[in-house]
Amino acid sequence: MTDHVQQTTPARKPSRLARWRQSDLWWSFTHKPSAIIGAVILTFLIVTAFSAPLIAPQNPFDPAQLELWNSELPPIWEADGQWPYVLGTDTQGRDMLSAILYGSRISILIGVASVVLSLAVGLSLGLVAGYFGRFIDNFLMRIGDVLLSIPTILIAILVSAVARQMLPPELRDVGSAAVLVLAITLSAWVQYARTVRAQTIVERGKEYVQAARLLKTPARRIMLKHILPNTLTPILVAATLNFGMAILTEATLSFLGIGMPPSQPSLGTLIRLGNQFLFSGVWWVVLFPVVQLCLLVVSVNLLGDWLRDALNPKLR
């Protein structure tokens, strides 16, 4: 009998996937069409962007593949369209579809990197401020107040412009992605830090934390192992919505000419380049990157909207 139980318990214990399929989160996902649409679009965009070297008809960074006589070709459904330039070419003969796929990859990578970095900064500073309180809390939150009293886009522009100036000239093109991540992080971490700090102050007073302190658990361990997991739900929502914001900020900076250089164009850079030809009838060089950027951000925001509602205990 005991043997029998021991044999069947592992089999009966649901796998991770099965548990996920039974969770409230999955249920709310399957019952919200906009979330499904968002997830499908986002997955498609990410997969196509990261398989760009495999599926793109052209490597837009390789000057040898650009032919000037193929420049300003309209999309394939127009009269002068040519295979394989499905979405047409720009003024230098660059295939728009390839440029957009590679550009999305840059945009997504910068977005992910800035969210990860601002999470790391915001979570650790928020935990420290909330857990230790007093001087360090006051100090960090004052800095946050100041950053919040300057419009975020201004912070990002200033950091990006000044940091670029500090870089030696030969590093400016290579370093622009890192500068952008830094600029977006500096304008975004405050929100995480505030959320985590508020939650940490609540959790700090609870019995399990007091018990851990009595057991002389190191402060770092209490913060990371005990308090942090209890603050993650609102952070997850904020991180999703901020991913969309980060992509937008990057696109805006690149559009203003202080982001990614034309040699490594992100979606924002492509829009900036295309915008110069707005009045010469070459509408496809600006419209397609715009559409791609909107699809990207809208799908992220649809997911964020769903997460916010699904994880909000008040709405359950």
Token digits for 295? 């699809």
| CB-nearer residue toward another protein: 142 or 206 | 142
CA 296 – CA 284 distance, rounded (Å): 18
- Which residue in 55, 120, 154, 211 binds another protein (CB under 8 A)? 154
- Which residue in 145, 171, 202, 263 binds another protein (CB under 8 A)? 145
| CB-nearer residue toward another protein: 83 or 279 | 279
| CB-nearer residue toward another protein: 212 or 256 | 256
Cβ at position 235, least distance to another protein in Å: 21
Enumerate residues 243-282 that contact another protein by CB under 8 A.
Answer: 244, 248, 251-252, 255-258, 271, 275, 278-279
Enumerate residues 34-93 that contact another protein by CB under 8 A.
Answer: 34
Cβ at position 95, least distance to another protein in Å: 21
Interior/surface letters 8-41, b for 16+ CB within 10 angstroms, e for the rest: eeeeeeeeeeeeeeeeeeeebbeebeebeebbeb
| CB-nearer residue toward another protein: 47 or 150 | 150
CA 26 – CA 72 distance, rounded (Å): 46
Cβ at position 239, least distance to another protein in Å: 17
Q: Which stretch binds another protein (CB under 8 A): 24-32, 145-153, 194-202, 219-227?
A: 145-153
Backbone φ and ψ for 30, nearest 5 degrees, come out as: -70, -15
302: contact with another protein by CB under 8 A: yes
**Binding-site size, another protein (CB under 8 A):** 38
Q: Choose among 70, 64, 75: nearest CA to 93.
A: 70
DSSP 151-211: -HHHHHHHHHHHHHHHS-GGGHHHHHHHHHHHHHHHHHHHHHHHHHHHHHHHHHTSHHHHH
The site for another protein (CB under 8 A) is made up of 34, 142, 145-146, 149-151, 153-154, 157-158, 161-162, 165-166, 244, 248, 251-252, 255-258, 271, 275, 278-279, 283, 286-287, 290, 293-294, 297-298, 301-302, 305
